[in-house]
Chain A
Amino acid sequence: MSDAEVLSEQSGNKIAKLPLAAALLALVGLCDAIYLTIHHYTYVPVPCGEGFDCGAVLTSPYATIGEIPLAVFGAAAYFVAFSLTILAAFGNRLMWKFFGVQAALMAVFSIYLIYVQAFYIHAFCQYCLLSAATSITLFIIALVSRFWRS
């Protein structure tokens, strides 16, 4: 299924399914990032599952750029991704191309953050892993739309 095919359902007033799925996934990432942003600014500890160490990850020097937590950038990125995918779902093919580029960048950065958690912080945070999973899945959706032909 090519870009054109993904978005072809738009003709006849249907909403394209892959961009819509990506939009819903971007919303999940947005909620996650907002949650972590609020956690950062309120200093309220996040509930953390067995085997995770959210405090270690979220208060590490890698969790902020200057004074700004990465979660803020994450929230902005997911909102942009949501906007692009919604526009694509309604037929804007250019936005779907932009989304593909953004999803690739987000996936690469997410992999870097997983690497940092594994090899520098030696601890994982479930919310960060959820965000990474979301970003990588968004990229997979973008890839699928490009290469998968039905």
Chain B
Amino acid sequence: MSNGKSNNNNLPLVIIGLVLVVALAGGWWFYNKSKKPTTGVANNSRPVNTATKPVQTPIVSNVLGAQPPNLLGSPNALVTVEEFADFQCPTCGAKHPLMKEIISTYGSRIKFIFRNFPLQIPAHDKAYDAAVAAEAAGLQGSNKFWEMQNLLFTNQATWTANPDYRKVWEDYAGKIGLDVEKFKNDMAGLNAKARVDADLARGRALNVSSTPSIYVNGVIVQFEQMNIDAMRQIIDAELAKSQGNSQNPKSSSAPTNAAPAEPKNK
């Protein structure tokens, strides 16, 4: 009798333990199941167009984007890394250190191009203006674009939460040595906006639907591959290919401002 009562006393704990085990095991199983790449969507920031995207086929577009592009590395490099990003996208901010590491690792062996792709959704209400701010900074020198780009990503949480975010950007402009009045005028003017619009047009032409979207020689990098090891593997493979092709006169004549996603190995 007392044994039966003691079993009953333990029953809630058994149920709680059971639920904990099932939750952990089920969660782990579902995590592993979900982790397997099933679509070409680059990340979770925009769950749209989840239909399969070509995974290994280089994507080509005649829409060039802003010219000259925001470029680091060598314009003559045979390997192009092109990133489409949104300054208000947390994942883009999280991947910013990775892109910096790629740029510093490969230097002039790659052509790194940053494309503005502000998502036009209510949650990213400052993204377009942020892209314009970066481009307005770039109008005072290309290195100023990169300084502003870096500040916008590294301080993303600060300015996104600030209702007076334009003032924050003006402070950044002052901090990186811009003529703040010119910066404000350029933000209101058409030149910086035109560059953002050109990048957006290129992104749309390439069917970019999520940020960050990264292409290496026109081949999309899957989100799971957006880490230093996988990116290095991809870029190293492209570098090895390009070295093989550099003896081929056809592939060594890439123009400086050619469409960066243009595949060179057709």
Contact = CB atoms under 8 A, between A and B. Distances in A.
B19 A79 contact: yes
A84 B35 CA distance: 33
A122 B126 CA distance: 13
B239 to A, nearest CB: 27
Interface string A85-108: 011011010000000000000000
Interface in B15-50: 15-16, 19-20, 23, 26-27, 30-31, 34-35, 38, 41, 43-48, 50
A62 to B, nearest CB: 9
**5 cross-chain pairs, A with B, having the tightest CB-CB distances, nearest first:** A45-B47, A122-B122, A56-B123, A42-B34, A55-B47
A45 B23 CA distance: 21
A78 to B, nearest CB: 9
Given A34-B23, A55-B45, A55-B47, A42 B35 contact: yes
Interface of A: 13, 27, 30, 34-35, 37-48, 53-61, 64, 75, 79, 82-83, 86-87, 89-90, 92, 121-123
A13 B9 CA distance: 11
Nearest to A80: B16
Given A27-B19, A61-B160, A45 B50 contact: yes
Contact residues of A: prevailing secondary structure: helix
B124 interface: yes
Interface of B: 8-9, 11-12, 15-16, 19-20, 23, 26-27, 30-31, 34-35, 38, 41, 43-48, 50, 89-91, 121-125, 156-157, 160-161, 223-224
A45 B20 CA distance: 26
A55 B27 contact: no
Contacts of B224: 43
Given A30-B23, A44-B34, A86 B15 contact: yes
B122 A59 contact: no
Contact of B124 (A56, A86, A89): A56
Count chain A CB atoms within 10 A of each CB in B123, B160, B161 and give the residue with the most: B123
Given A59-B90, A61-B157, A43 B123 contact: no
Contacts of B124: 56
B123 A82 contact: no
Nearest to A44: B34
Given A43-B91, A59-B45, A61-B160, 19 more contacts: A27-B19, A30-B23, A38-B27, A38-B30, A40-B44, A44-B34, A44-B38, A45-B44, A55-B44, A56-B123, A57-B123, A58-B44, A59-B89, A60-B90, A82-B16, A87-B12, A89-B12, A92-B12, A122-B125
A40 B91 CA distance: 11
A61 B16 contact: no
Given A56-B124, A79-B20, A34 B27 contact: yes
Contacts of B121: 53, 55-56, 123
A86 B124 CA distance: 42
B34 to A, nearest CB: 4
A90 B30 CA distance: 31
11 contacts: A38-B30, A41-B31, A42-B34, A55-B47, A56-B121, A56-B122, A61-B90, A75-B23, A90-B11, A90-B12, A92-B12
